[in-house]
Amino acid sequence: MIFLLAIDVLDLTELEPNIPPLEFGVYCTSIAGPPGVGKSEFCTKYDKPFIFDFEEGTKGKVVFRVPVSRWIEVKKYIRQLVSKPELKNKFQTCAIDTVNYCLEACKQYIIDQYQADHPDKIIDTFNKIPYGGGKELLSKEFKGEINKLKRAGYGVILVSHIKDKVFDKETENEHTKTVPDLTDADRNMINAMADFSLLVDFETDIIEPAKKDSNGKVIKEAVVETKRVMYLRTNESAEAKFRWPNVPEKIDFDYDAFKQVFQEAVLQEIEQGKKKFGLSDEKIEEIKDSLSYRRENEQEETIKEEQEKDKLEKEQESLEFTINSIMELAKELKGNGVDIKEINKVLGGDPRKLKDIEEARTTLKNLRNLK
């Protein structure tokens, strides 16, 4: 017999259509581009940004940033972001700059964890994790941490470099596209996570062609203009994605221009929804307020859950530290000639089996009294 768990869910008879938020800082955005095009600068334009700075691309900016190089650092900062309510008012969007280095750090963390759990195996590269398990572990670890941020109400920006990639090799459809400089598996994972996959690049336009004499010699160089563009949708030369279809293929790479395109697309989606479901402006606002209230409650619940996890982890770390102190002190006492029966009497068994921090602290205190 299957029993339904006692979990609160929505009453579907009262379910209203979803109204997408107009604040694009709450979405997940992937942005890829060459060095120097202004990706880091773009991130700093968001409202209340916080930067995980792997490349130190924002060290010259007045912005909240932390230089990081290891995945464990990212995890600890995320734990703070999702467990301290006051940080939700201080930051709104979290950017990982760049995700190339972040994923490599995450993979190294997974290698180290797997090696620790399987000391009989030599795992010195990510691909050596048996049966292709590294891909699954990466997806669980990386997406799990990013999803914590999203559930807590933060927007996320994933910054990466670009490369040219050949598709349909050795066929009549062979072609080259500019894509994020990630492995196919990593690129697919990031693309699936993102509401927007934006590709930024330099583009050169010929303003005035070169002039040549009758012999074909250039007597005046061409006048060209180089500008920065942002692709919003995939075309024959660039890979990109936008959550809503009715947007330009590309625009100038400009924060305000992107924000305007985004807001126009959302408003168009809302207008279509109003017609489809027969909603008035007043009903739209009512639904928005209801969704906002629900999201805030979900975020508060997420923060409470993470606070409890944080408390349990700190208690476990404290327990492990105390147990190690007990074992070291017991060894020291034995070396100093203290009666082993007295030591064992205090220990009352294997200290590694202690589960209660207060019991462990009492044991450590009683051992110290034997000195």
Q: Which residue intervals of the chain are DSSP H helices?
A: 39-44, 71-83, 85-90, 99-117, 133-151, 184-193, 255-277, 281-335, 340-347, 357-368
Give 32: exposed, middle or buried? Use CB within 10 Å, 0-12, 13-18, 19+.
buried
Q: Please state whether beta strands 162-167 and 175-180 pair in parallel, antiparallel, or not at all (unpaired).
A: antiparallel
Same domain, 210 and 157: yes
SS3 227: strand
Alpha-carbon gap, residue 6 to 140, rounded angstroms: 27
Is residue 2 in some structural domain?
A: no
Alpha-carbon gap, residue 113 to 125, rounded angstroms: 12
Is residue 16 in some structural domain?
A: no
* Inter-residue contact 106 to 71 (CB < 8 Å): yes
Alpha-carbon gap, residue 319 to 321, rounded angstroms: 5
Residue with tokens 């009903």, as numbered in its chain:
283
Last residue of a domain, one of 258, 278, 298: 278
Is residue 244 in some structural domain?
A: yes
Rounded to 10 degrees, the C-alpha dihedral 110/112/117/122 comes to 110
Alpha-carbon gap, residue 123 to 115, rounded angstroms: 6
Same domain, 123 and 262: yes
> What confidence tier does 346 reach under pLDDT thresholds 50, 70, 90?
confident
pLDDT in tens, 249-258: 999 999 999 9
Is residue 245 in some structural domain?
A: yes
Same domain, 36 and 157: yes
Range of the domain at 360: 280-371
pLDDT in tens, 158-210: 999 999 888 877 777 788 889 999 999 999 999 999 999 999 999 877 777 77
Same domain, 285 and 274: no
Last residue of a domain, one of 246, 278, 310: 278
- Helix, strand, coil percentages in the chain from 3-state DSSP, rounded to 5: 50, 20, 30
Q: Give every CB contact of residue 49 below 8 A, 6+ residues apart in sequence.
A: 43, 63, 64, 91, 92, 93, 94, 95, 157
Same domain, 143 and 231: yes
Please count the CA atoms within 13 angstroms of the CA of 332 that sit on its side-chain side: 11
Same domain, 345 and 249: no
* Inter-residue contact 333 to 370 (CB < 8 Å): yes
Q: Give every CB contact of residue 51 below 8 A, 6+ residues apart in sequence.
A: 40, 43, 44, 58, 63, 64, 65, 66, 94, 95, 97
Task: Please report, rounded to a whole number, the percentage of residues in the chain having pLDDT higher than 70.
Answer: 95
Last residue of a domain, one of 244, 259, 278: 278
Averaged pLDDT for residues 52-79: 93
* Inter-residue contact 259 to 24 (CB < 8 Å): yes
Q: Which pair of structure tokens corresponds to residue 175?
A: 């072609």
Sort residue 171 into left (φ over 0), alpha (ψ -120 to 50) or beta.
beta
Same domain, 264 and 287: no
Is residue 355 in some structural domain?
A: yes
Higher confidence at residue 329 or residue 223? 329
Structurally, the chain folds into a number of domains equal to: 2
Closest CA to 237 of 222, 249, 220: 249
Mean residue pLDDT of the chain comes to 87
Does the structure show a pLDDT above 70 at 105? yes
